A and B are shown apart, each in its own frame.
Chain A
Amino acid sequence: METINLLIWSFDALLGLCLLWLAWRTLSAPDLYKAVVLFVAFGLLMTLAWVRLDAPDVALAEAAIGAGLTGALLLSALARLDPAVDDQSIVTQKDNRPKSESVQWAAFMSLILVAIGLGYSVLSLPLKFKGLSPEVTEQLVNSGVENPVTAVLLNFRGYDTLLEMAVLLIALLGVWSTGNKPKYDKPFSSPVLDFLSRLLTPILILVAAYLLWVGAHAPGGAFQAGSILGAVGVLLLLSGWRLQKDSSLLLIRLILLAGPFAFVAMAVITMMIEGQLLQYPPAHAGLLILVLETTATLSIGATLAALFLGGPPHLKNEESP
């Protein structure tokens, strides 16, 4: 038992050191391309840390978003930073202009103080603390789901998720208004990409549906499923899939709005029936949560893919030459 404990402890310590080292390299590597790749590796190791902290729900979200989508977003932005030069520019975008040495020293010294202060406050917290888990366990039977994290996200603190859907929509509106119309470059074509995207798309959609369904009683849920759908969208966009019809532009916009509007509608209805924002009648809570989660999944997936596209979608044939 002693040896196993020691092994687990050394693994945790190694993981912590790797996280700090990767973060340091991400922030100090002179080559920005290298920095982004290191950041993706950092996201993957964060996933391991979530698993070590008994947070599988967070690990699933981090694996799909932190390690996947954020990396894709950063790489595509890096490639667009310097479009005048050919592909080689991705590797030569450098960041050679750090602040003067006195500023560096002042920042370094004051941040050491900040870190010591934060460390002291964390170390002075009690080692045992129940938090809100007794309340959550007590009310779990009324929530309509068995996974406590899903119960918190969709029922006890449903308004957080409502506001989050609004945040996603606003971020997308911001990207659409600042971003240029996406240039549909000739898609990079390779037999491997074509084959894999054909193979993976249906599998990933199934995985997303599974995660959505299983979220009621095991790790999973709308966010994890939505980010997988977003990843499907990114894969399809990269392999050259484009909107073909006018009606699909409208359909995309309807899907983007479905999640926030379903939440607002549910909030208004529950307020009229139960008197409280998003307080579901316990008998129907499971079904209502499933409806909300399904629309939220579709909206989150569509929003994330649209964020990757970078500008308002348009049809392929509208393209200016």
Chain B
Amino acid sequence: MTPTLLFALVGIGLFSLGLYALIVHAHLLRKILAINIMGSGVFLILVALAKRTSETTPDPVPHAMVITGIVVAVSATALALSIMLKLNSETGCAELPDDV
């Protein structure tokens, strides 16, 4: 198995783990962590697949997309945390009402 496939499969594993935790856990901080891990999984798949060029240098376009993605992820995380803190100060708990 090549590193490309190995890391792409790890990326799929991270994405699925994150999605599972996003559904199962109620605390919003945990959900934010889960979304970040899902994002890392997607980035890992993109960069792993960029390595399939036969030359020594991988495809730079997915790399650029992932760098953009990392910065967008941190700003989205900051916004999500801020909304979570607002909810916490209004209702006293950082969880959404359970509707299942």
Contact = CB atoms under 8 A, between A and B. Distances in A.
Interface of A: 9, 12-13, 16, 19-20, 23-24, 26-28, 32, 35-36, 39, 42, 46, 49-50, 52-55, 57-58, 61-62, 65-66, 69-70, 73-74, 77-78, 80-81, 93, 95, 97-100, 103-104, 107-108, 111-112, 114-115, 118-119, 122-123, 125-133, 136, 148-149, 151-153, 156-157, 160-161, 164, 167-168, 171-172, 174-175, 178-180, 221, 223, 226-227, 300, 303-304, 307-308, 310
23 contacts: A13-B6, A20-B14, A26-B37, A27-B30, A42-B40, A54-B51, A55-B47, A74-B77, A77-B81, A77-B84, A81-B84, A97-B26, A98-B24, A98-B25, A107-B24, A122-B49, A127-B52, A131-B62, A133-B53, A133-B60, A153-B67, A175-B79, A178-B85
Interface in B57-100: 57-68, 70-79, 81-86, 88-89, 94-95, 98, 100
Interface residues of B, number: 79
Interface of B: 1-10, 12-21, 23-27, 29-30, 32-34, 36-37, 40, 43-45, 47-55, 57-68, 70-79, 81-86, 88-89, 94-95, 98, 100
A35 B53 contact: no
B59 A131 contact: yes
A12 B7 CA distance: 8
A308 B82 CA distance: 10
A50 B65 CA distance: 14
